[in-house]
C-alpha cells in the first residue's frame, strides 16, 4: 500500500530529519523516489519501515506526540470497488480469449 499523505508529510518534515540525522541517506532516497516516481511508489513503505521501525517504541511515541496522529502501523485496507456485472463479464471474456489462443 502506498504511504498516506500524513506519512509523506512526516518524511519531508525538517523536524523529523533533525531528530534522525543518522538516516540522512534514507531521507535522500525518499526525496529521490518522491521526485522520480511520486507518492505512489511501491518502495516507499519499505523505506518508512526502515526509518520508523515498529519495534522502536520511543520513536513511535515521539511520532505520536509530535505529529498528533500516529500513522497506520500496517497496510490500509480499502473499501471494495463496486463494479457492474458487465465489466466482470468483459474481463472474463478477455481472459478466456487468451486461454483459447
Q: What's the mean pLDDT in 24-50?
A: 89
| End-to-end CA separation in angstroms for the chain | 34
Quick: pLDDT tens for 38-97: 888 888 899 999 998 888 888 888 888 888 654 455 555 556 656 566 777 777 888 888
| Per-residue model confidence (pLDDT) at position 74 | 54
| Per-residue model confidence (pLDDT) at position 66 | 85
How far is the C-alpha of 53 from the C-alpha of 26, rounded, in Å?
13
Q: Output b/e per residue, 48-75; b: 16+ Cβ within 10 A.
A: beebbeeeeeeebebbeeebeeebeeee
Query: Distances in Å between the alpha carbon of 41 and those of 16, 19, 47, 85?
Result: 21, 25, 11, 31
Q: Is 72 left (phi over 0), alpha (psi -120 to 50) or beta?
A: beta
- Whether the per-residue pLDDT at 12 is higher than 80: the answer is yes
Q: pLDDT higher for 5 or 75?
A: 5
| Per-residue model confidence (pLDDT) at position 79 | 62
| Per-residue model confidence (pLDDT) at position 98 | 80
Amino acid at each position: 500500500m502506498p504511504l498516506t499523505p500524513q506519512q509523506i508529510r512526516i518524511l519531508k518534515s525538517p523536524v523529523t530529519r533533525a531528530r534522525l540525522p543518522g538516516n540522512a541517506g534514507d531521507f535522500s532516497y525518499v526525496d529521490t523516489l518522491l521526485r522520480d516516481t511520486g507518492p505512489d511508489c511501491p518502495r516507499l513503505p519499505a523505506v518508512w519501515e526502515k526509518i520508523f521501525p515498529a519495534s522502536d517504541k520511543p520513536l513511535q511515541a515521539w511520532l505520536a506526540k509530535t505529529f498528533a496522529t500516529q500513522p497506520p502501523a500496517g497496510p490500509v485496507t480499502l473499501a471494495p470497488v463496486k463494479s457492474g456485472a458487465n465489466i466482470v463479464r468483459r474481463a472474463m471474456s478477455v481472459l478466456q480469449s487468451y486461454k483459447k489462443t
